[in-house]
Amino acid sequence: MALDELKSAIPDYAKDLKLNLGSVIGNSDLPAQQLWGTVLATAIAARSPRVLRELAPEAEANLSPEAFKAAKSAAAVMSMNNVFYRTRHLLSDNEYGTMRAGLRMNVIGNPGVDKVDFELWSFAVSAINGCGMCLDSHEQVLRKAGVDREVVQEAFKIASVIQAVAVTLDAEDILS
């Protein structure tokens, strides 16, 4: 199992990450599609070839082909949107907020899976990429759709652990 291999690669000084990785994936209350779509989208967003290589096959085994594609689409479109909207938000000139974005993001309207799942994955990717505007926007959509705060928090817990594992393992690859 790739998850076990990934956990065993985590160094002793990061034991908490090993425990948390097992917990957020192995003990999650999320339905399989939400869980594995979040895992895949955040593994892509974490930009670690090692983490993605280990987790993608397991995600693919637990997702329909449509959900696997949609999770990758969430990571792709949010990598663009997070930079765009985070920059727009950080600029002191508020006029940028009134301008048309002019960026294609059709997949958000028609992701090929349940809209709530896609929103959850987009939210989790936004957590990794640190875009407050996108986080607020996706969280509001999720909450209006009746998604509990516990589910939303589960998504950013997964994102935080996968990001931390990616940073740690990539550093170990360089330092060893």
- Residue 42 and residue 26: Cα distance in Å, rounded? 16
Any idea which residues carry the catalytic annotation? 131, 134
Q: Are 153 and 139 in contact (CB under 8 A)?
A: no
Task: Give 26's contacts (C-beta < 8 A, 6+ positions apart).
Answer: 3
User: Is residue 96 packed enough to be buried (19+ CB in 10 Å), middle (13-18) or exposed (0-12)?
Assistant: middle
